[in-house]
Amino acid sequence: MPVPASASILAPHQQPLWRGQLLVVGCVLVLSLVGIYSRPAGYLASFWPANAVLLGLLVRYPRWGRRPSTWVLAYLAYVLADVVTGASPLWSLGFALANEVGVFGGWWFLVRRPRAVLELRQSRAILDILIGCGLAGGVSTLLGGPLGHYFFGLSWAQAYISWMVTEFAAFILLIPVFLAAPRPYAWRWRLWLPGKAMDAYHVLPILSLVLSETIALTVGGPGSLGFSVPAMVWCAMAYGVRPTVLLNLVVCLWKTVSISLGAFGFGLGHVAEITSLRLGIALLSLAPLTVACTYALRQQALQQLRQWVDHDMLTGAWSRRTLLERGTKLLARMRDEGQPMAVLMLDLDHFKSINDQYGHANGDRVLQQFVQLAQRLLRPEDMLGRMGGEEFAVLLPRTGAEQARQVARRLCTQLVRQPMELELGACIRVSCSIGVAAITAWDSANALEKHLGWADQALYQAKAAGRDQVQVYVGDA
């Protein structure tokens, strides 16, 4: 049973195989018993979770599925569950085979999907899950349909449709739970919560969901099936993928239970209506999942776009535009608070010769390492931006002229001491020249660009004095 290499990276730890197989056997046995004992007399189970849980485990840990012994043990667990509940060995062997071939069909398809799909990080993820669940249910139905016809006395159409819908509904509700579960510690409940701080506004989606389900139960009828869809879409946009997966499972299970409560106006004898309702519940669950995945991808794209716009792509420092925008706001805040501020202009010495001698790729490496060094030496509230080429600017809030000069001197000293690593293991030493302009109460009304210009004048003085120097601007405002 070969599995592509891309699937193996989903296994979080190379834990002993016997532990995984023990978990597989335990889940199959217990959940099969739950499904059998909850089965109404003369009917297929209304919800059969054993196959979906087995498929979810093997997709999450494909290393277990590569071992034939795992499939043999799971098959024996299916057989044992049927035998202990009174089924004949022949029927038990048939039902176990129908269950396992369906799981294998879905597993064969899903483990070949890209990692981003299996982690719900692509827009096509829900479509691939839908296809995988449909394939698993369809393969299982090929054998399960005839068994349902002869064992339960259902018509051929009822046997095939009921088996397919039951399998598909369980797969489509449970498989996303396994795919969205935190890696590697799925049982840590805090990892299932929204990743951002929740306030009173974020409680509204869940309250609307509870209200819509209450109204659906009160009104009743087939149309109440869709009452909660707007609330679920709202939850998907507010909470993210993992919380939506759990809410989706809870709501759909509740809708399944509400069938037995008579909320839809018909009972177990209405096989066609119940089958249609189960299928509708399963398919409706796809809407909030799709919204959650798509919205999460949109937010990631916007965040990445903001990163590209606000930061220099090569070094990770603030871009010139962002530094000027945020620096202007910072300058206004320091003026209002009556706090000093300083501006540094930095230029790497003889940088053109580095590009000429070692190549532009190594020049880029030097710029990146310089920014990393500067960010380690600066405070979190300080702002470092790339103005262009090898020229950078630093904004130091709540910093006077002497403090700024000390910061600049420390930058120069540490830069000379740190060797810059080039390609093929070579190293070089780099220095910089820095100009300092202190912003005090008497000139805080001037624009930030003017202070940057003063710092730039001091920078040229540092270069003229021999480079690897710090000069402070002392001209009139």
Domains identified in the chain, total number: 3
Q: Are residues 346 and 401 in the same domain?
A: yes
The structure tokens 């009304």 sit at 445
Going through 69-152 in order, the beta strands assigned E by DSSP cover none
CA angle 295, 194, 118 (to 5 degrees): 60
CA distances from 82 to 36, 77, 311 (A): 8, 9, 62
End-of-domain residue from the set 261, 286, 309: 309
What is the structure's pLDDT at 265?
53
Q: Are residues 179 and 202 in the same domain?
A: no
Q: Are residues 207 and 281 in the same domain?
A: yes
Say if CB 443 and CB 451 are below 8 A apart.
yes
- Among candidates 260, 226, 228, which has minimal Cα distance to 244? 228
Beta bridge partner(s), residue 394: 344, 384
Q: Are residues 57 and 93 in the same domain?
A: yes
Mapped onto helix, strand or coil, the DSSP state of residue 12 is coil
Q: Are residues 344 and 380 in the same domain?
A: yes
In a domain, 477, yes or no: no
Run of H or E including 346: strand 341-348
First to last CA, the chain: 78
Task: Starting at the earlier edge strand, list the strands of the sheet with 341-348.
Answer: 383-388, 391-397, 341-348, 432-439, 470-472
The CATH number of whichever domain residue 412 belongs to comes to: 3.30.70.270
In a domain, 448, yes or no: yes
Going through 28-132 in order, the beta strands assigned E by DSSP cover none
Between helices 68-84 and 89-110, what is the axis angle to 10°?
A: 140
Encode pLDDT of 61-85 as tens digits.
Answer: 999 999 999 999 999 999 999 898 8
Q: Are residues 272 and 369 in the same domain?
A: no
- Among candidates 85, 68, 78, which has minimal Cα distance to 32? 78
In a domain, 314, yes or no: no
Say if CB 327 and CB 395 are below 8 A apart.
yes
Q: Are residues 61 and 127 in the same domain?
A: yes
Q: Are residues 356 and 466 in the same domain?
A: yes
The structure tokens 């996303």 sit at 176
Quickly list DSSP for 112-126.
TS-HHHHTT-STTHH
What is the structure's pLDDT at 147?
87
In a domain, 145, yes or no: yes
Q: Which residues lie closer than 8 Å to 127 by C-beta, 6 or more apart?
A: none
In a domain, 390, yes or no: yes
Measured between alpha carbons, how far is 124 from 322 in angstroms, rounded to an integer? Answer: 35
What is the structure's pLDDT at 122?
82
Measured between alpha carbons, how far is 28 from 74 in angstroms, rounded to an integer? Answer: 7
Helices (H), 311-400: 320-337, 351-358, 360-377
Q: Which domain holds residue 143?
A: 1-186
The structure tokens 């959650």 sit at 292
Q: How far is CA 477 from the centre of its chain?
A: 52
Mark the ranges of the chain whose per-residue pLDDT is less than 70: 1-15, 39-46, 184-192, 195-200, 259-274, 441-445, 476-477
End-of-domain residue from the set 169, 186, 203: 186
CA distances from 140 to 135, 148, 149 (A): 8, 12, 14
Q: Are residues 170 and 197 in the same domain?
A: no
In a domain, 300, yes or no: yes
Q: Are residues 292 and 359 in the same domain?
A: no
The CATH number of whichever domain residue 53 belongs to comes to: 1.10.1760
Neighbour-count burial for 113-148, b at 16+ CB within 10 Å, e otherwise: beeebbbbebeebbebbbebbbbbbebbbebbbbbb
Run of H or E including 435: strand 432-439
What is the structure's pLDDT at 1?
39
Say if CB 140 and CB 50 are below 8 A apart.
no
Q: Are residues 127 and 175 in the same domain?
A: yes
End-of-domain residue from the set 309, 333, 351: 309
Q: Are residues 68 and 145 in the same domain?
A: yes
Q: Is 154 exposed, middle or buried (0-12, 13-18, 19+ CB in 10 A)?
A: buried
What is the structure's pLDDT at 161?
85
Say if CB 392 and CB 374 are below 8 A apart.
yes
Measured between alpha carbons, how far is 73 from 68 in angstroms, rounded to an integer? Answer: 9
What is the structure's pLDDT at 182?
81
In a domain, 315, yes or no: no
Residue 319: CB atoms within 10 Å: 18
The structure tokens 């532990």 sit at 19
CA distances from 287 to 22, 173, 230, 293, 340 (A): 35, 12, 10, 10, 54
What is the structure's pLDDT at 11?
41
Taking phi over 0 as left and psi of -120 to 50 as alpha, with beta for the rest, 153 belongs to: left
Neighbour-count burial for 371-395, b at 16+ CB within 10 Å, e otherwise: bebbeeebeeebbbbbbeebbbbbb
CA distances from 330 to 138, 286, 444 (A): 62, 46, 11
Measured between alpha carbons, how far is 319 from 385 in angstroms, rounded to an integer? Answer: 6
In a domain, 63, yes or no: yes
The letter for the amino acid at 259 is I
Measured between alpha carbons, how far is 44 from 266 in angstroms, rounded to an integer? Answer: 17
Q: Which residues lie closer than 8 Å to 59 by C-beta, 6 or more apart?
A: 10, 65, 106, 107, 110, 111, 118, 175, 178, 179
